[in-house]
Amino acid sequence: MDNLIGRIHSFESFALVDGPGVRCSVFLHGCALRCKFCHNPDTWTHCDSLTLMTPPELHKKLMRYRPYWKSNGGVTFSGGEPLLQMEFVTETCRLLKKDGIHTCIDTAGQPFRPGDEAWLAKFDALLDVTDLFIVDMKTFSDRAHRELTGHGNANILAMLRYLSEKRKRIWIRHVLVPGVTDDEQELIQMREYIATLHRVRRVEILPYHTMGVGKWEKLGLKYPLEGVPMPTAEEVKRAEILIGAFAGRN
């Protein structure tokens, strides 16, 4: 589909934390969430610095990095929110799968539309050419999710259930922000919900960091979590126990 145009923010050609093995991560433009700890606010909306590519053009560029991937690496689509450009991502993944490349979608799930048959048909097409979904669970309760991101999370939990029913491989990540996303009951509820899902291969706690603050300042935005400290090793360990973190199979 050469008429599909993807809006790409940036690439990381030697990514080590965006899925199994060495990967090329493609960061896409666009996201409806406004997470208070976002480290890529420059991906939220359209800007002059984005790169426009068709699926064949992106596929050709990605295949240059194939020697790095060896037997267990591949390509991860992140953002921003890759599900906002689902048809573009699907077609690019289809080309990658023809070459036997492992594909991964790193998503917060906000665009998921339960009950929308036309949207779900497109999502199913993406599932057919995706090996792994990395899902960022911000919080568990809808109230806390709205406070943190500006949107509820009922549809996000529905997406996780849908992926589970389709038996897709899932990794779950939770960013631990002291005083914001470290509530004990929330973490326990997350663990209990995750335990009901099929094929969850990994659950991770990601310590909050402030490396994205400069981007907020460059965009003229006030950083919402100014003064919030990074979690200590002890706080991370406590959260890992509460959420039931584990590093399992790919």
Q: What is the per-residue pLDDT for 212?
A: 83
**pLDDT score of 93:** 98
- What is the C-alpha R_g of the chain? 18
**Worst-scoring range by mean pLDDT, 45-49, 122-126, 195-199?**
45-49
pLDDT at 47: 66
**pLDDT confidence bin for 60, thresholds 50/70/90:** very high
Domain boundaries, the chain: 6-247
Q: What is the pLDDT of residue 43?
A: 85
Q: How far apart are CA 62 and CA 73, in angstroms?
A: 12
Residue 1, pLDDT above cutoff 60: no
Which pLDDT belongs to residue 46? 62
- Tens-digit pLDDT profile for residues 148-176: 999 999 999 999 999 999 999 999 999 99
- Residues of the chain with pLDDT > 90: what percent? 82
pLDDT at residue 248 is higher than 80: no
The predicted-structure confidence for 69-112, as pLDDT tens digits, reads as follows: 888 899 999 988 999 999 999 999 999 999 999 999 999 999 99
Q: Where are the beta strands (DSSP E) in 64-212?
A: 74-78, 102-107, 132-136, 169-176, 200-207
Helices marked H in 102-183:
117-128, 142-149, 154-165
50: pLDDT strictly greater than 70: yes
d(CA 94, CA 79): 19
pLDDT tens for 220-239 read 899 999 999 999 999 999 99
Q: For the chain, what is the mean pLDDT?
A: 94
pLDDT in tens, 204-219: 999 999 888 988 888 8
pLDDT for 2: 59
Reference 10, options 45, 48, 50, 37; nearest CA is 50
**Calpha distance 193→200 (Å, rounded):** 11
Fold of the domain spanning 6-247:
TIM Barrel (3.20.20)
